[in-house]
């Protein structure tokens, strides 16, 4: 029987923690990276607390303090902004004017230094957000792969631009150039990967950066600060710590930020964009809310649908923007679906992130368990029930997944993005009802459809691709592979991310143009032959 007491015993005593995962001592980060050097920090700090609790002999649970990080204010944000602005120097700085080949060399150097700190970063990632050790390792490795793929993509992009184009008597050369100062803010659920999915392309395109780490998953960047300082010219990347509501309005209100990249909520993004004094000058690359639905049709392979929906709804406790957050199942099969779904869910392993094969782990947001409870209670009060044994049982930061059925319009779970281990299920009779749910949603990221009928799939795909940006056929929603475009409609995104799209998102095409005269030809030829410009050249990066 799964109850609160049983969940409590899943938290470890000190001795239960395997030796290789024990924290020898808290990590108190007392530096920031501003203007190219690690600056000693003597100001306020905030503790970094793990979602893992330690259980004593009486069963009391104590939070694990992992360390602390600087808590900056407006003055520190101002210094970071000044450093980023100086490094950009209105496009004249060493970094924005550096050749692509040299920027690539810096990024390779950074990657090598980053890989050397893998063990520390992975361990902090696991402890800070409760992501399983295996998934934390995957997140690190996927990020390194992403950086390498980005380097290759930029090399190809630049090589394709290493030529002149002649049209209507005009000679042109077109290349992608940086935008200026980029403010980069990542999410806590993929603190390393999603942050770097914007930070790395923004950097490599020649922008200078203000980097504000996520609220949870902040200490894991400490081992990388030296790598940033060593690999890039002065002021190219500057850290900003402190309360978002204090420092971010200052940065955007200054008008000196050219690009905002944020993986977070649409409410915050809407608010932030309005703070820039010249809205037209601010480019925004945003990954925002999502409430991806699965539509399970009567002729679906039920085992496959159950497996994918379970993965889609509960990987990393449902804390993925791409998670399936509403399961719509045809009424002819909903009972069978639910029976199998809860049976499979019961096999998921609940425990601590270092345990092999663990699926459900402690939640990092302090108020998350209470919010999960509210969502479930609201649905129960409006006629739904929890259909899995022990669903919704919680103890401190552990919340055992609740499958809630039938979810209807008017319940919180119908529209709110729960971003956690609660699985709302509703039944439908007519496929138009399922389609209507997607059409009337405020979100438009992805959808999954489960059917074995070419006709049904074909009929559903055509309207759905105009509502969301990825329709997954007989599989869960997800971002990867990273070469595919990752974006969304409505409140789900602005701009597109993928290895190649991100390079475009963080740059703009600029060109030189000259009349096709003999004088121009000679001039351009001399510039190329004498290597007079880093922009006008025909060099090839191998």
Q: Taking Cα atoms as reference points, which of 22, 13, 114 lies closest to residue 60?
A: 13
Single out the segment in contact with ligand G3H by CB under 6 A; choices: 97-105, 270-278, 351-359, 478-486.
478-486
320 binds ligand G3H (CB under 6 A): yes
Single out the segment in contact with ligand G3H by CB under 6 A; choices: 18-26, 351-359, 393-401, 473-481.
473-481
Single out the segment in contact with ligand G3H by CB under 6 A; choices: 13-21, 342-350, 449-457, 477-485.
477-485
481 binds ligand G3H (CB under 6 A): no
In whole angstroms, the minimum distance from the beta carbon of 331 to ligand G3H comes to 29
Single out the segment in contact with ligand G3H by CB under 6 A; choices: 76-84, 172-180, 186-194, 204-212.
186-194
In whole angstroms, the minimum distance from the beta carbon of 488 to ligand G3H comes to 11
CA distance 153 to 179: 19
In the bound state with ligand G3H, the residue whose beta carbon lies nearer, of 320 and 368, is 320
In the bound state with ligand G3H, the residue whose beta carbon lies nearer, of 41 and 190, is 190
Bridge-based pairing of strands 61-70 and 27-28 is parallel
Site for ligand G3H (CB under 6 A): how many residues?
Answer: 9
In the bound state with ligand G3H, the residue whose beta carbon lies nearer, of 470 and 537, is 470
In the bound state with ligand G3H, the residue whose beta carbon lies nearer, of 83 and 497, is 497
SS (H, E, C) 510-538: EEEEEECCHHHHHHHHHHHHCCCCCCCCC
289 binds ligand G3H (CB under 6 A): no
* Near ligand G3H by CB under 6 A: residue from 189, 418, 492, 505: 189
194 binds ligand G3H (CB under 6 A): yes
In the bound state with ligand G3H, the residue whose beta carbon lies nearer, of 393 and 492, is 492
Q: Taking Cα atoms as reference points, which of 507, 81, 93, 508 lies closest to residue 255?
A: 81
Q: Taking Cα atoms as reference points, which of 1, 3, 70 lies closest to residue 394?
A: 3
* Near ligand G3H by CB under 6 A: residue from 91, 172, 383, 480: 480
Other Cβ atoms closer than 10 A to 435: 19
State both tokens at 521. Answer: 């030809």
Instruction: List the 181-185 sheet strands across, edge first.
Output: 237-239, 208-212, 181-185, 259-263, 283-287, 493-494
> In sequence order, which residues have a C-beta less than 8 Å from that of residue 100 and are 6 or more positions away?
154, 155, 158, 541
463 binds ligand G3H (CB under 6 A): no
In whole angstroms, the minimum distance from the beta carbon of 322 to ligand G3H comes to 4
In the bound state with ligand G3H, the residue whose beta carbon lies nearer, of 182 and 321, is 321
For 319, phi then psi, to 5°, come to -90, 60
456 binds ligand G3H (CB under 6 A): no
Single out the segment in contact with ligand G3H by CB under 6 A; choices: 156-164, 189-197, 233-241, 393-401.
189-197
In whole angstroms, the minimum distance from the beta carbon of 92 to ligand G3H comes to 35
State both tokens at 534. Answer: 């880093």
Q: What is the DSSP string of 461-488?
A: HHHHTTTSSEEEESS-----STTS-B--
* Near ligand G3H by CB under 6 A: residue from 322, 355, 445, 492: 322
The count of residues in the chain is: 542
* Near ligand G3H by CB under 6 A: residue from 478, 487, 505, 507: 478
**Helix or strand holding residue 306 (H, E):** helix 302-314
**Which residues, listed in sequence order, are joined to residue 27 by a DSSP beta bridge?**
67
190 binds ligand G3H (CB under 6 A): yes
In the bound state with ligand G3H, the residue whose beta carbon lies nearer, of 386 and 493, is 493
In the bound state with ligand G3H, the residue whose beta carbon lies nearer, of 185 and 297, is 185
In whole angstroms, the minimum distance from the beta carbon of 321 to ligand G3H comes to 3
Query: CA torsion angle for 227, 230, 233, 237 (degrees, to 10)?
Result: 30
In whole angstroms, the minimum distance from the beta carbon of 84 to ligand G3H comes to 26
Q: Tell me the Ramachandran region of residue 490: left when phi exceeds 0, alpha when psi lies from -120 to 50, beta otherwise.
A: left
Bridge-based pairing of strands 493-494 and 398-399 is unpaired
The distance between the two most distant Cα atoms of the chain, rounded to a whole number of Å, is 89
* Interface positions with ligand G3H (CB under 6 A): 189-190, 194, 320-322, 478-480
């Amino acid at each position: 029987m799964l109850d609160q007491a049983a969940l409590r015993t899943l938290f470890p005593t000190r001795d239960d923690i395997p030796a290789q995962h024990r924290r020898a001592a808290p990590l108190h980060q007392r530096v920031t990276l501003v203007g190219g050097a690690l600056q000693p920090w003597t100001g306020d700090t905030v503790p970094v607390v793990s979602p893992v609790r330690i259980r004593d002999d009486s069963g009391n649970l104590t939070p694990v303090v992992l360390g602390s990080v600087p808590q900056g204010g407006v003055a520190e944000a101002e210094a970071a902004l000044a450093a980023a602005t100086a490094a950009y120097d209105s496009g004249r700085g060493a970094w924005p004017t550096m050749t692509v080949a040299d920027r690539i060399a810096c990024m390779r150097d950074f990657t090598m230094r980053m890989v050397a700190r893998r063990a520390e970063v992975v361990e902090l990632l696991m402890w800070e957000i409760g992501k399983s050790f295996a998934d934390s390792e995957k997140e690190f490795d996927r990020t390194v792969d992403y950086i390498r793929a980005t380097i290759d993509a930029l090399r190809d992009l630049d090589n394709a631009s290493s030529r002149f184009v002649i049209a209507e008597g005009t000679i042109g050369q077109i290349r992608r150039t940086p935008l200026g100062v980029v403010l980069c803010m990542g999410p806590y659920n993929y603190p390393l990967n999603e942050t770097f999915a914007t930070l790395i392309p923004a950097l490599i395109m020649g922008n200078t950066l203000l980097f504000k780490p996520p609220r949870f998953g902040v200490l894991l960047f400490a081992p990388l600060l030296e790598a940033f300082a060593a690999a890039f010219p002065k002021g190219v990347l500057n850290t900003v710590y402190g309360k978002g509501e204090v420092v971010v309005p200052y940065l955007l209100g200054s008008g000196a930020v050219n690009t905002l990249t944020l993986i977070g909520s649409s409410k915050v993004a809407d608010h932030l964009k309005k703070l820039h004094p010249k809205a037209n000058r601010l480019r925004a690359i945003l990954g925002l809310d999502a409430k991806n639905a699965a539509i399970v049709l009567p002729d679906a392979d039920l085992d496959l649908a159950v497996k994918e929906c379970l993965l889609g709804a509960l990987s990393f406790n449902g804390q993925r923007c791409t998670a399936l957050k509403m399961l719509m199942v045809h009424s002819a099969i909903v009972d069978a679906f639910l029976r199998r779904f809860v049976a499979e869910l019961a096999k998921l392993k609940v425990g601590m992130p270092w345990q092999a094969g663990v699926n459900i782990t402690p939640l990092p947001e302090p108020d998350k368990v209470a919010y999960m409870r509210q969502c479930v209670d609201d649905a129960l009060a409006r006629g739904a029930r929890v259909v899995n044994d022990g669903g919704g049982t919680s103890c401190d930061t552990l919340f055992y997944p609740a499958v809630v059925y039938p979810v209807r319009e008017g319940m919180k779970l119908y529209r709110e993005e729960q971003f956690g281990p609660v699985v709302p299920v509703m039944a439908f009779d007519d496929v138009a009802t399922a389609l209507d749910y997607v059409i009337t949603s405020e979100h438009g990221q992805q959808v999954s459809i489960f059917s074995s009928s070419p006709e049904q799939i074909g009929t559903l795909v055509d309207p759905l691709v105009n509502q969301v940006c990825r329709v997954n056929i007989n599989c869960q929603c997800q971002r990867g592979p990273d070469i595919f475009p990752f974006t969304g409609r409505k409140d789900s995104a602005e701009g597109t991310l993928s290895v190649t799209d991100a390079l475009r998102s963080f740059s703009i095409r600029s060109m030189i143009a000259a009349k096709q005269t003999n004088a121009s030809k000679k001039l351009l030829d001399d510039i190329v032959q004498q290597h007079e410009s880093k922009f006008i050249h025909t060099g090839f990066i191998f």
